[in-house]
Chain A
Amino acid sequence: MDARNLLTLLVLVGSILLLALAAELLEVRLFVRIVTNLFIMLVLVLGLQVFMGNAGILSFAHVGFMGVGAYTTAVLTIPVRMKGMALPDLYPLVAGLELSPFMGILAGGLVAALVAAVVAYPLMRLSDAAAVITLFALLVVLHTIMLHWSAVTNGPRTLFGLPRATGLGLAAAAAVLAVPLALLFKESRVGLLLRSSRDDEVAAAALGARVPFLRWQAFVLAAFMAGIGGALWAHFITSFSPKAFYLKESFVILAMLVIGGPGTVTGAVAGTYIVTLAFESLRALEAWLNRAQIFAEQVVGLTEVVLALAMIGVLVLRPGGLVATREVGTWLLRRRSKKGDAP
């Protein structure tokens, strides 16, 4: 890894560690919760960046794979005595299993990657627009399956009983690992070829790039990270339903990446920070408005409206996002060299 990327890595990982330290020291429960959730979001958004930033295709299915990870770890880690209540119809093969959350989280990532590998291969040969809308349809299908496969997911009802294994430390560790993963992929041969093929498919093919295969690799890695993120989240929140892996969540994660900048890892991280801040503030505002009864009815959906407007605004003014092309390491080094120039 060259100097710029190393610097980027240091800055981004440093920010994560700083936040974790602050949360640890301040010991405010709400803050710890928000920061832990933020770190899980980082894993998810970085996963999305791996695919969207390199292949240049919008993926709505990402959150679906989050769900796959979450339900995989649920099935494997809910204590056996609780499984009887939580998932009465669960298949005997897995009903007797009780793995450690760590194994469950890993399994979540792997199963998500496997599903992605199988389902997405034909989709990678589609034109950009066709791929986007087919991935959207994939999200809906994954959601439908989660909603109706009651034996495994408890259907539309809430699934409970997961061990609360994701604390501040684990989430921070996962986020710290996700950053170099995304950076390494971006600068790898696959990442470079993929990005260059967006500008000129013919030239890239001449270099030996098989674009569908490259896209597929990015997609599988992204799904793996989504699965891990989903499983982490499952062990954080300990109970959830399929509703959590659908359009609203897709929207939020997309907002994080789009506002930050899908083309850079720095953008993914920055966007997550900014949108989390905005989201939590808006949620607090919404709650306050409802308690103070300013409006006659419950104010619902204010957060999404503001996020939607923010996304449209960013796209009009800075279509590449806030951090469009240069990673923070590159930017810092360039500033230093500019300052160093003699007049």
Chain B
Amino acid sequence: MTAAIQFVIDVLSLGGAYALMALGLVIVYGILRLVNFAYGELVMAAGYTLYLVGGSPLPWLVMAALAVAAAVLTGIATDYLAFRPVRTKSVTAVLITSFAFSTLLQNAAQLLISPRPRSIPLPEVFSDTVTVLGVVTPARNLITIAAAAVLLALFTLAMRRTILGIAMRAAATHFTMARMLGVPANLVITTAFAISGLLAGTVALLWLGRIGTVVPRVGLEPLLIAFIATVIGGMRSLEGAVLGGFLLAFIDTSLNYTLPQDLLKFRDAFTFSLVILILLWRPAGLVRGPATGQRT
């Protein structure tokens, strides 16, 4: 029984982080139909900000807020530097510019800070353990579950109730028509990148909380997770991204629990194989995106 509860907590906390990460990617893809390869670097930006302010006497929450702000700013910068100049040219161009931008950011961190891991400040509560229903688990897991729940709820609310949220959903379906109703294109896009940064920045705090250090390549794993979760969930669906995140967390956790010791290091290969099977069955992902068909 305790193993089952442990499993559920693991899946929920990992799934929450994965879902937030995937959501940040889809929100930009849904509106712009463009994949942001520099998305992982938002996590890196948050991490290095934490490192840089780590020595100061500020309370951790303030440092965390700064880190998230850094992620938001980097997200917006990605739009201006890597997307806007080539957005109208071609889809491949944007993929490559965002990949080049990602390399640029990583190398900048390498050159300006250090290629070696740097430790980041973490609040004490992250390392505390808590007993839930007879299971001992790091408090961090519960914080992750709570943070994910809160953010997902806020996000859903914002998308459904606010005019900007409605405008963004409309832009994701048919950008030009939204503009013809007066919705300012630039505002929608910048907001999408900002939200993307907010989500990635929050995930960064939880993610780095497990590792404790930051390296230039730290964004690669979250990026991959966002990618895979998005692809299995359905690339244009916000619900799909969340579902994909939880499903991926379920697969990863299950493999963690069941794989024999010597195969554990190949876990990612197994995950990928399972993902391929899912894609064989549903190439468009599990959840359909916004309808684009019209009736005359």
Binding site for B on A (CB under 8 A): 56, 58, 119, 122-123, 125-130, 132-134, 136-138, 140-141, 144-145, 148-149, 247, 251, 254, 258, 262, 299-302, 304-305, 307-309, 311-312, 315-316, 319-320
Pick from B97, B227, B268, B285: contact of A144, CB below 8 A: B268
3 nearest A-B pairs in the assembled complex, by CB-CB distance: A301-B107, A319-B89, A308-B100
Q: Is B92 within 8 A of A251, CB to CB?
A: no
Q: How many A-B residue pairs have CB under 8 A?
A: 123
In the complex, what's the smallest C-beta–C-beta distance from A220 to chain B, in angstroms?
Answer: 16
The bracket for how many chain B residues form the interface is 35 or more
Interface members, chain B 248-296 (any A CB < 8 Å) = 265-266, 268-269, 272, 275-277, 279-280, 283-285
Q: How far is A308 from B104 in the complex, measured between Cα atoms in Å? A: 6
Which residues of the partner chain B approach A309 to less than 8 Å between Cβ atoms? Answer: 100, 104
Q: Which residues of B contact A149 (CB under 8 A)?
A: 266
B145 to chain A, nearest CB (A): 26
User: Contacts A122-B279, A123-B276 hold; do A311 and B100 have CB atoms under 8 A apart?
Assistant: yes
Task: Verify A251–B228 contact, CB threshold 8 A.
Answer: no
The B interface is mostly helix, strand or loop, or mixed, namely: helix
Report Cα–Cα, A144/B111, bound state, in Å. 26
Contact A258 B231 (CB under 8 A): no
B103 close to A (CB within 8 Å): yes
Q: B92 near A262 (CB under 8 angstroms)?
A: yes
Per-residue contact bits, chain B 218-229, to A (CB 8 Å; 1 contact, 0 not): 001000100110
Q: How far is the CA of A305 from the CA of B111 in the complex (A)?
A: 10
Q: Smallest CB-CB separation from A295: which chain B residue?
A: B111
Residues of B within 8 A of A (CB): 29, 33-35, 82, 85-86, 89-93, 95-97, 99-101, 103-104, 107-108, 110-111, 115, 220, 224, 227-228, 230-231, 235, 265-266, 268-269, 272, 275-277, 279-280, 283-285
Chain A, interface SS category: helix
B35 near A129: Cβ-Cβ < 8 Å:
yes
- Asked whether, in the complex, the Cβ of A140 is within 8 Å of the Cβ of B280, the reply is no
Which of B85, B91, B101, B284 interacts with A128 by CB under 8 Å? Answer: B91
Given A122-B279, A129-B34; 20 other pairs, CB 8 A cutoff: A56-B92, A58-B92, A123-B276, A126-B279, A126-B283, A129-B35, A129-B91, A133-B230, A134-B228, A144-B268, A145-B269, A148-B266, A251-B99, A300-B111, A304-B107, A305-B104, A308-B101, A312-B85, A319-B89, A319-B90
Contact B110–A138 (Cβ < 8 Å): no
Residues of chain B within 8 A of A140, CB atoms compared? 220, 224, 268
22 contacts between A and B (CB under 8 A): A58-B95, A127-B284, A128-B91, A129-B29, A129-B35, A133-B35, A133-B227, A133-B231, A137-B228, A141-B272, A251-B100, A300-B110, A300-B111, A301-B111, A302-B111, A304-B104, A308-B100, A308-B101, A309-B100, A312-B85, A312-B97, A319-B86
A126 / chain B contacts, CB cutoff of 8 Å: 231, 279, 283
Given contacts A123-B276, A301-B111, contact A137 B227 (CB under 8 A): yes
